[in-house]
Structure 1
Amino acid sequence: MKVKQLEIFLKNNPGRLADISHTLAENAINIRALSVADTADSGILRLVVNDTTKAQQVLQENGFTVALTDVLAVEVPDKPGTLDCILQVARKGGLNVEYMYAFSKKSGESGMLLFRFDDQDAAVALFQKAGCRLLSDDEIHSL
């Protein structure tokens, strides 16, 4: 199972992130997880939201450059060592992590690790075989 993620390309200008958050808030779109990567001139905001289609539409209507990509969302217990367990599965399977970010649903209970691997299809098969719980778009939207 893969989850759709929005990638918004930004110039590093004051207020650009606030413009995005305002646009999403005005349209009742809830951010489930986010990551920001930047360089001196530009950045990429990666978002998993409750309504991907609507978010992409309203952001594009407001002049943002938006792409959709797939990530794997792995539900994990919120306790020490969980990330290591997941990364050891990836390592043994020969997967390369391109990037990742995390979200804790409730401290001490569960969290979500979002991954982009060099081979997403192989990652799905590997994690399912290892008994990991992969979240679907529908599950993310209903959080």
Structure 2
Amino acid sequence: MRVKQISIFLENKRGRLAAVTRLLADTKINIRALSIADTTDFGVLRLIVDQPDLAYQVLKKNDFTVSETEVIAVEMPDKPGGLAKVLEILDQNNINLEYLYAFYGQSGHEALNIFRVEQIDEAIQVLGEHHIKLLPGDAVYAL
């Protein structure tokens, strides 16, 4: 149920994001979801792509500072309270959420969020026990 996320450290300079996306496009790697956190001097671009191993290799080869992180893809009803329910389950089980970002639902009735948690194995177990659907990496990459 783990999903590979690619994180790229980028100087906050004009053209850096364009360079990453052009490199991925030229390598036929499709971006499925992304998040950017930035400061005045740098940013961290987090990506879910259809070919994470290739993306990592290509970015590294082209002198980008890149890392791979395991995250989980959590599907929930796309209605008020859907996210709150999942977050409450994690909180009640002392699982710390580091960050999350939205994806899109497959059928139009679900929301999909990417969660980075400190205790990934515990999160997978607890969410499964509460019948919260987690998508495996292969399913997420194929969306």
Q: What are the within-5 Å matches in structure 2 for residues 98-109 of structure 1?
A: 98-105=98-105, 108-109=108-109
Q: Is the 8 A contact 1:9 1:66 kept in 2?
A: yes
The percent of aligned pairs where both chains have the same amino acid is: 46
Q: Find the aligned partners of 1:81 and 1:49 in 2 and give their Cα distance.
A: 28
AA paired with 1:119?
Answer: Q
Q: Is the 8 A contact 1:74 1:132 kept in 2?
A: yes
* Structure 1 residue ranges, 4+ long, deviating more than 4 angstroms after superposition: none
Q: Find the aligned partners of 1:12 and 1:107 in 2 and give their Cα distance.
A: 36
AA paired with 1:141?
Answer: Y
* TM-score, L = length of structure 2: 0.94
Q: Find the aligned partners of 1:121 and 1:106 in 2 and give their Cα distance.
A: 25
RMSD: 1.4
CA deviations 1:61-115 (Å, max 9, x no partner) are 2211110010011112222221111111111111111111011235842221111
Q: Is the 8 A contact 1:77 1:108 kept in 2?
A: no
Runs of 5+ consecutive residues of structure 2 not aligned to the other structure: none
Aligned residues: 143
* TM-score, L = length of structure 1: 0.94
- Residue 72 (structure 2) pairs with residue 78 (structure 1): no
CA deviations 1:2-25 (Å, max 9, x no partner) are 111001011111111111111111
Runs of 5+ consecutive residues of structure 1 not aligned to the other structure: none
AA paired with 1:115?
Answer: F
Taking a change above 3 Å as real, the CA distance of residues 107 and 129 of structure 1, as seen in their structure-2 partners, is closer
The alignment partner of 1:29 has SS state of: coil
Structure 2 counterpart of 1:127: 127
The alignment partner of 1:104 has SS state of: coil
